[in-house]
Structure 1
């Protein structure tokens, strides 16, 4: 079976747009949870307290705001297809942090609280950043 018909620049751009929108908007949503307590999230105070429970000392509220801002900026840039590599780096930094602080000790598989999903997200955003955002982008730079 030949998949040559799928090697179409228009379909590739639609596929990249789909990936960018789902991943980017999801991270924007996560930022709302951390920054504003939206979507059932803890807000910066609650997220800061959670970080304290993991053994972080002072400054956890600031770190929760920084994480939320990285997710907001990274998610927006990634979804928009504008400065996609920068958006991918911001998202990857948050995911690497989550792996190192929360998930690594639980192993690889997500059903045990591992880092499987975080690693998949890193691969997706870096893959799109290396491939390019496709033709459908918000702002051409």
Structure 2
């Protein structure tokens, strides 16, 4: 059952990050696309190059999400996701405190904990990188 639980966690988190990347990079799923995401990033005071930061974030989310969902180089997928979440805390949510209802970093923190936990445990049997212990 643990392997099924790890698969569910990896798929939900990994594919959610893939979806977020497609929003940033291509404007899919109601996303803003690179140009608008870049403008938003610059509105946070991250200048110049908001468009480039949007691309970097989208690629980190895409690669991190795919690796994490697949259970291949899970530690690297988790690290890429966590870099994005730490950036979100530092640039957007941190100033609002912990709780999500106040715009805080609660959700980002939970995602970091889960991805680190899975990376430490391993991806489980239903992955592209399963190794019996």
Please give the TM-score of this superposition, normalised by the length of structure 2: 0.96
**1:57 offset after TM fit, Å?**
1.2
Q: How far apart in 1 are the matches of 2:13 and 2:55?
A: 20
The Cα offsets for residues 4-37 of structure 1, whole Å up to 9 and x where unpaired, read as: xxxxxxx100000000000000000000000000
Q: How does 1:32-71 map to 2 (within 5 A)?
A: 32-71=22-61
Measure, in 2, the Cα distance between the counterparts of 1:109 and 1:130: 26
Matches of 1:92 and 1:57, distance apart in 2 = 22
User: How well do the aligned residues superpose, as a CA RMSD in angstroms?
Assistant: 1.1
Q: CA contact under 8 A between 2:42 and 2:49: conserved in structure 1?
A: no
Q: Do the aligned partners of 2:3 and 2:125 also contact (CA within 8 Å) in 1?
A: yes
Paired positions, count: 131
Q: TM-score, normalised by structure 1?
A: 0.91
From 109, 127, 137, give the equivalent of 2:117: 127
Contact 2:71/2:128 (8 A) holds in 1: yes
Tell me how far 1:140 sits from its aligned partner.
5.4
**Which segments of 5 or more consecutive residues in structure 2 lack a partner in the other structure?**
none
Residue 76 in 1 paired to residue 58 in 2?
Answer: no
Q: Is 2:88 the partner of 1:98? A: yes
Larger radius of gyration: 1
| Residue in 2 that maps onto 1:17 | 7
Distance in 1 between residues matched to 2:65 and 2:122, nearest whole Å: 16
Q: Is the 2:75–2:119 Cα contact (8 Å) retained in structure 1?
A: yes
Residue 76 of structure 2: aligned partner? 86
Residue matched to 1:6: none
Q: CA deviation at 1:139?
A: 5.0
Residue in 2 that maps onto 1:107:
97
Q: String of CA shifts for 1:69-94, please: whole Å, max 9, x gaps.
A: 00000000000000000000000000
User: Once the two structures are superposed, what CA deviation does each residue of 1:22-63 show, in whole Å capped at 9, x if it has no partner?
Assistant: 000000000000000001111110000001111121111000
